Amino acid sequence: MKKNPLLVEIDQSYGYSMLRVYVFNLIAFMTAIGLTSELKVDHIVGFVILTILYTLVEFLLINVTKRFLFKYVIKTLGLLLLLIYIVLIYLAVEMVPDVRFTSTLGFVLFTLVFLVIKILLVYYYDKFVQSKRRHL
């Protein structure tokens, strides 16, 4: 019997991974907003909806891209993933009515700061986990 590659078994590590991505996105959004002041949030509910929407779509789209288009990710040296992240931020902000960018330059600045912060969070989290595993 052939296994369907689109079906994902949801187990404990999948849920934990989703929660970790949400926390990283939440911290990165809050920090990028504080550092750049380029994303205007009118209401906290809009911010929560923005982070949840972005996380859900990012988690799904990045996993599908890595699974089925990984050879193109390698050929573009990761620029395909960067493009996906940029489009996702733009679309998520456009879909939530309580959140908006101050300008186009603000969008670029916010996106760069957000992605750098997120990469740093993931990097140091992985370093922390590896050091804990070495000491066990």
Whole-model pTM: value is 0.84
CA dist 40 and 101 (Å) reads 6
Per residue in 71-91, pLDDT tens? 999 999 989 999 999 999 999
The residue ranges of every structural domain in the chain are 14-134
Per residue in 33-46, pLDDT tens? 999 999 999 999 99
Residue in 95, 135, 113, 124 with CA at minimum distance from that of residue 28: 113
Per residue in 11-28, pLDDT tens? 557 778 889 999 999 999
